[in-house]
Amino acid sequence: MHGSVPNVASVVEGSLYQSKSGRSSPVYNPATGEQIASVALCSSQEVAKAVAAAVSAQEAWGETPAAERARLMFRLRDLLEDQTEQLALTISREHGKTHGDALGEVARGIEPIVFACGIAHALKGEHSTNVARQVDTHTLRQPVGVCAGITPFNFPVMVPLWMLANALACGNSFILKPSERDPSASLLLFELIERAGFPKGVFSVVQGDKEAVDALLTHEDVQAISFVGSTPIAEYVYTTGCAHGKRVQALGGAKNHMVVMPDANLEKVCDALMGSAYGAAGERCMAISVAMPVGDAVADALVAKLAERVKQIRIAPSTDAQAEMGPLITKQHREKVLGYIESGIDEGAELVVDGRNFRLAEHENGYFLGGCLFDRVSPSMRIYREEIFGPVLVVVRAASLEEAVSLTNGHELGNGVAIFTRDGGVARNFARRIKIGMVGVNVPIPVPVGFHSFGGWKRSLFGSHGIYGEETVHFYTKLKTVTTRWDEGQQGAEFNFPKA
């Protein structure tokens, strides 16, 4: 690195703010290994300053008519669409994913904004007339107050939009704590939110690490926390936030299976696995990381087809328009993934395709890793039990559909699953029996659209609400039930429990 690098700021009280904590974290271009920025990390006192601004802004924002808030959402949607290219370039530069993948991330992030444009309808309460004589009951959904989102490095635009869309539309103020590995996109989001006309202080960004996270989790004025990340950190966020009286939705890791039935079209299965296992270098919580063919004949044919395809993946930086897979996020994460590969070999799995020696000319310092494919993996192996979060697909052979269902249901993580088959009865039965939050039938990455909700089961989700869609309208609002009597004439005291 030569010369100075730009500093990535926070946003406090509606303006850019450079932390005075004296602590910072480097930001790298994963394709080159070069430091391209430095992000100043907020102290707990600076987080408290952002919370105070959010508290101050929220009351008036919460009283703003829902239709007015929706109009700002429409403006934000238009601005996001206009700036998709710039957002994608920023994502790719700091994360490393291909430009096409980054464009897709922005598009999927806009979906919940579109849903939030109809927030006035989503916030309608219920009304019952004459629940008792001269007594009516109606319900209100009111904002919870100050909400915070702690978001991961792999989707620096999409996941923040998943959270802030309904948080803001429901009348809350929102504080974003993005990943310090790729923080610049958060400032582009602030710029667009400001241009859309949202009031100052309603949206804030605190750049930081664990100190900032803990400050948000324990601050008495933060009412709700949304988190996406690894399962151990999700559990920590959930238990700590709940212990401090907060609503928490904490989405954790995944080990997503794809069950391949004997009647499946193997060409389509291979297409699906290539994109879902190796897209974004496997750094997706919805990546298919376990292929589970039913029967050895299916497994042999599938592994043979996959092996040739994996060897041909075009691995390149995002500046290459033909790139199919980019680098991993950091040197440290690349080393972690390499450790998983060594573990698989040591435990007896068959490494069919070994991508460890991949090198890209003129990018030797980048964090690239070739696609890897394991066969004959058993459920006891670490590469099956744990989330690798890299371009490593493992094949676990199942003797029957019953075994495939049992193995999938027995895994502690339950984010997503897919089945490929031509049999509608098999697919329907599988979808009903499988203990996983999101199911794809001939769909490899079953991420719901923005007017449904995203969320896993078991140790992939801590809390009772999924993210975006109607689920988070409930998460970001409090239900109030009002019972009213307007009497005509005298009413005596009632000493018994009232009844209709």
CATH of the domain at 393: 3.40.309.10
Asked whether the beta carbons of 472 and 465 are under 8 A apart, the reply is: yes
285 in the same domain as 226? no
d(CA 399, CA 292): 10
Q: Name the β-bridge partners of 78.
A: none
- Write down the catalytic residue from 42, 170, 285, 372: 285
How far the first Cα of the chain sits from its last, in Å, is 76
Residue 500 lies in a domain: no
pLDDT score recorded for residue 494: 73
pLDDT score recorded for residue 487: 76
pLDDT score recorded for residue 2: 44
Spatial neighbors of 26 by CB under 8 A, at least 6 apart, are 5, 35, 37, 38
Structure tokens at 36: 């391209």
Residue 122 lies in a domain: yes
266 in the same domain as 238? no
Residue 28 lies in a domain: yes
99 in the same domain as 234? yes
288 in the same domain as 381? yes
Residue 380 lies in a domain: yes
* Domain CATH number, residue 15: 3.40.605.10
219 in the same domain as 354? no
400 in the same domain as 289? yes
346 in the same domain as 266? yes
Look up the domain containing 41 and give its range.
7-252+460-481
Residue 491 lies in a domain: no
Residue 495 lies in a domain: no
Residue 150 lies in a domain: yes
Q: Is 285 an active-site residue?
A: yes
Mean pLDDT by 10 residues, the chain (500 residues): 78 95 97 97 97 97 97 98 98 98 97 96 94 92 98 98 97 98 98 98 97 98 98 98 98 97 98 97 96 98 98 97 97 98 98 97 96 98 98 98 98 97 98 97 92 93 92 96 83 71
244 in the same domain as 260? no
172 in the same domain as 65? yes
Looking at the structure of the chain, the number of domains it has is: 2
161 in the same domain as 64? yes
pLDDT score recorded for residue 104: 97
Asked whether the beta carbons of 365 and 371 are under 8 A apart, the reply is: no
pLDDT score recorded for residue 344: 98
Asked whether the beta carbons of 318 and 336 are under 8 A apart, the reply is: no
Residue 109 lies in a domain: yes
270 in the same domain as 133? no
312 in the same domain as 215? no
pLDDT score recorded for residue 1: 43
